[in-house]
A and B are shown apart, each in its own frame.
Chain A
């Protein structure tokens, strides 16, 4: 379709930060000879508009009259480059969400102009002697992603995409009769259904009984509903584990803890989108954590962004509508300094992944107006093909709106974004292994988000909720309408009519509409008498809503397009027909040993190396790109201390403006321990999440937890055995802590099959990870803590016992070793420690508190010094230890259940009284200068300045070069 082209660029003499940033990126990626880069924003407006209309519109809306000017090109005119200038133009591919184009259309309407087709693009004029092939190659890697964008060098977009051809709306039968298992498996594979042979045979038998073939839409519906992503076939399967039979792993472990504890603050657990617990007499808080690993591996920006959007929708759709108050994000990447030659084919470089993921989270969470307050980042080589992107969200809702129930006769209303072909087969894709070719094969499963559409949907849902206009709600996530309506219709029945569904563009077949995973859509069950009001509220909130169908009482799922019936299935079969999996698990501990390291010769350098580890180092570059202040609830921020650059253990929120009642949000994860013992990994994750919470002022007796698994191929018995072992250890500890699990999720098959140069393949499996997220409710945020040292002369107290537990530690890692002695958690003393420290903080005898984790006491003390810009004397001989530990092990052991506390000298007796029997020792003093001194008996072990430590800690992820510029001064 022909179009006007409008290029908007900075006026002569104006700065161009976008162009400058592109120049830095290109140069950093190794493109030589670039002398200047200038940016242009491009717009395509359909040729239907007159020249006068286009010019008036560009002047009024597209161009900033103060600093920009624009150039118009008539439809179908060629543009010639100046010599020595290459143009690099990035255009969203047809069908990829382009929110800006929608806003341009809105402005056309606001100016009473015809609302014509619109496109956008971004152009860079690259000056200098540059080879265009190299420019294209680098742009593909570092400025754009050709999964979702078209990248043009020295060419401009020809016009707008032409109209799609009419779709095939007919009902397609998929004959299964007579197919053997191999043929069924082939059919599943070719169709991207991710169903195994047994499942396909179950479907075959079901339809044989009906004496008909399934339709394509029915088969797709079953594939979505039965996907690992939706049904958690592994965690709910029966596991034979080294001679023991575990029936429904999930129910007998995680759910068992919650149901046995039966804590009175739990309102709704495991049944809804998110777990709900009481906040105060009126309101509850809910929490959900998800993963969005596979989309983020292929298109980090879109994958992470839509991950955030998805978990926010989960919260909005919890109970009868919750308002999101905070987001939390945890990532696992391969080291960002990975050498290019070590990058397996088909993987994006971890630095590219990290930058894309961070900007994806930023560009979704910030526009939604939800503060991103908590998170962590972990690094290991084995995340190279499968980066992990955990996204979490917390919401608040009146407790009276905690439960939902759709009724027969309720109208199914969908609202929010339009439906497109995007994200088809996301649910099934996430159940498959990634490989070198996934990038090109699975592109359809990757999407770009549109946060403002979600914000409008959220505003509409919450306005409807305040008027009590619906009886149930859910979000459209994996499987799209098929899963959302299918789940809500369970026990009822539903008739769906697809033809009214607003589409992003023409050309979708009924089954595509039904399973599309287009973002930003919610589904409501609305009593018929309230329908008009719901539609009016959505209209007032500028969120598009339509009637998708109604709930019935015959337990059948009927899906029609116009008068054609594309699905008429028994819901009982859909939900309960999936055969339970029988899985084999076995665990054999790896054969490891403690390293035989020479005595540490330079403890100062060792400490600086630990501080500079990617896992330990400052994440300020990431944190500052997230809005952590919106909603004005942050009473404990992600960065603390006098220069607001010290690390916080947890986020503290006071979500009801004017009230001091609060929520403490924290997490724990350490993938490296998993390589030694998955049980250690799981225990430490839980204990760390609890320690982080308690250090910030959380109440261990009013805390709930979430488990989020990312694991390898669980069809491998050892891999599943590791998962079972980890789960049992974690549940055992949770039972002792009396912390119920309220929600959780699993992402399995996180393996990457890399093609090697010799044509062979190598499978890279992630270390099994459980992220534990903890949320505590507290009565008064004024009794919370930060980790920065506050006063010279304070005593530094180490709570807990230090052991020879450096297996998986950062210190060993810095020496290239793994070790064997991973830290374990002694559950009874661990609980006593959490409770004791909590009592001490509440009693007011603690000035600052910090959890000890990666890097041990040395890293923790250093971080507290950086936060407070006050040095410390640390006497390593004063540590309470078990066994014979040298100074090195005392500094860097990662034993659990330990805290560093800053105590005024006159409050040590108070501390002792509150810690009860928990062992603690005064190990040093806060100094008035900026010197850090570690001594052992009278021997100086390490002396350094805070500035030295700060530089080491800040420079590894100082991607703008601004953090260490300050530290150097």
Chain B
């Protein structure tokens, strides 16, 4: 089939749309921006796409709480529609603020297939925004496109990234039942709650979630800022050791696998 089409959602305060757009194109997709105002006027436009990406940023200033105002704006007209989009085979990616929006909309973790706020992304234990590279590991999970067992370095850049569910048991369930698709790991490769390997103090090291049918992925750290080799913090050492740079940075796998999956299914 032709290249899968990715809808790159724009909204006031969303600010990672250009890199997300480019990363999907680099992976062989066709990216298209759509402003939330236009999508709300014509929600059926969503059905022309195979992939929906909600990029990072500070939608509506993250006023009230991160992602809250945009999620509220989308809820009435787009909540069920995105759920249907997913059920019909669409793929959804939320990065950072996009992840926060998907959580507030109830699209993640969406354990029962209904739109319900089951978890939240709240203030880092440090109580401030922080930008640092972290090591994450993809888990054996429900996610239909993310290969398991990859150890990747992505930059985290957020003030409200601590993933919390209603109870410790509910948190454990997310891990046990394959919703916790991405976790922060320490230098030994173990999921960690320790700062700074885990920048926000999220229990069980949870950095990203997928939904019940594995077609939605939300991550706090940014694959969209680590998809080129020159994005990686120590690319000069890599260049020195290997004589050349690798083709991709560590974040590229997300975009490649989403486009590949969408293409295979289309």
Contacts and interface: CB of A to CB of B under 8 A. Distances in A.
A427 to B, nearest CB: 27
17 contacts: A64-B117, A66-B118, A100-B63, A103-B60, A369-B57, A452-B61, A456-B12, A540-B38, A629-B231, A630-B225, A631-B19, A632-B227, A632-B228, A632-B231, A644-B133, A782-B245, A962-B196
B117 A367 contact: no
Contacts of B73: 106-107, 110
Nearest to A103: B63
B123 A17 contact: yes
Question: Which of A62, A369, A632 counts the most B-chain CB atoms under 10 A from its CB?
Answer: A632
Interface string B157-169: 1000000111000
B32 to A, nearest CB: 15
B240 A790 contact: yes
Interface string A349-386: 00000000001001000111100000000000000000
A630 B16 contact: yes
B190 interface: no
Interface centre among A106, A369, A966, by most B CB within 10 Å? A369
B230 interface: yes
Interface string A88-120: 000000000001101110110011000000000
A124 B234 CA distance: 43
Nearest to B59: A452
Interface string A624-654: 1111111110110100111010000000001
Contacts, number: 176
A784 B240 CA distance: 12
Nearest to B123: A17
A71 interface: no
A624 B10 CA distance: 26
Q: Which 10 A-B pairs have the closest CB atoms?
A: A369-B15, A103-B63, A632-B19, A367-B58, A21-B127, A66-B120, A17-B127, A452-B61, A100-B63, A657-B22
A599 B227 CA distance: 54
Given A61-B72, A111-B72, 17 more contacts: A21-B127, A41-B64, A103-B64, A107-B69, A366-B58, A367-B61, A367-B62, A450-B61, A451-B61, A455-B12, A629-B231, A630-B225, A632-B224, A635-B231, A644-B132, A658-B228, A791-B240
Nearest to A463: B35
B130 interface: yes
Interface string B1-44: 00000000010110110110011001000000001011000000
Nearest to B122: A67
A586 interface: no
A502 to B, nearest CB: 17
Contact of B26 (A359, A542, A629, A658): A658
Interface of B: 10, 12-13, 15-16, 18-19, 22-23, 26, 35, 37-38, 56-58, 60-65, 68-69, 72-73, 76, 117-120, 122-133, 155, 157, 164-166, 195-196, 222, 224-225, 227-228, 230-231, 233-237, 239-240, 245
A321 B227 CA distance: 28
A205 interface: no
Contacts of A626: 131
Q: Which of B64, B157, B164, B245 has the most CB of A within 10 A?
A: B64
Contacts of A459: 10, 12
A692 interface: no
Nearest to B251: A632
Contact of B120 (A67, A368, A781, A791): A67
A467 B65 CA distance: 35
A150 to B, nearest CB: 20
A137 interface: no
A847 interface: yes
Contacts of A960: 126
B164 A14 contact: yes
A358 B132 CA distance: 17
A623 B132 CA distance: 10
Contacts of B22: 632, 657-658
A634 B231 contact: yes
Given A17-B124, A60-B72, A962-B126, A369 B60 contact: no
Contact of A66 (B18, B123, B165, B236): B165
A104 B60 CA distance: 10
B69 A103 contact: yes
B57 A625 contact: no
A451 B58 contact: yes
A790 B237 contact: yes
A948 B142 CA distance: 47
A540 B38 CA distance: 8
Interface in A415-472: 450-452, 455-456, 459
Chain A residues touching B, range: 35 or more
B15 A630 contact: yes
A196 interface: no
A362 B237 CA distance: 30
Given A17-B123, A452-B58, A362 B129 contact: yes
A29 B90 CA distance: 54
A15 interface: yes
A65 interface: yes
Contacts of B224: 632
A601 B35 CA distance: 67
Interface in A517-563: 540-542
A359 B56 CA distance: 20
A366 B239 CA distance: 31
B122 A455 contact: no
Nearest to A98: B63
Contacts of A624: 130-132
A455 B13 CA distance: 6
A368 B26 CA distance: 25
Contacts of A630: 15-16, 56, 157, 225
Nearest to A11: B166
Nearest to A14: B164
A67 B13 CA distance: 25
A62 B127 CA distance: 20
Contact of A103 (B61, B196, B239): B61
A786 interface: yes
Nearest to A451: B61
B79 to A, nearest CB: 12
A784 B245 CA distance: 14
Contacts of B37: 540, 542
A20 interface: yes
Q: Interface centre among B124, B225, B235, B240, by most A CB within 10 Å? A: B225
Given A367-B13, A452-B13, A540-B37, A99 B222 contact: no
A18 interface: yes
A452 B233 contact: no
Given A103-B69, A369-B57, A782-B245, A17 B125 contact: yes
Contacts of A790: 236-237, 240
A448 to B, nearest CB: 12
A763 to B, nearest CB: 37
Interface centre among B18, B117, B165 (most CB of A within 10 A): B18
A625 B19 contact: no
Contact of A62 (B64, B131, B239, B245): B64
Contacts of B13: 367, 452, 455
Of A65, A66, A785, the most chain B CB neighbours within 10 A belong to A66
Contacts of A658: 22, 26, 228
A540 B12 CA distance: 11
Interface in A33-80: 41, 60-62, 64-67
* Most central of B10, B132, B133, B165 by chain A CB within 10 Å: B132
B180 to A, nearest CB: 16
Nearest to A966: B196
A161 to B, nearest CB: 19
A667 B69 CA distance: 39
A455 B15 contact: yes
Interface in A810-848: 847
B117 A366 contact: no
Contact of B35 (A14, A107, A541): A541
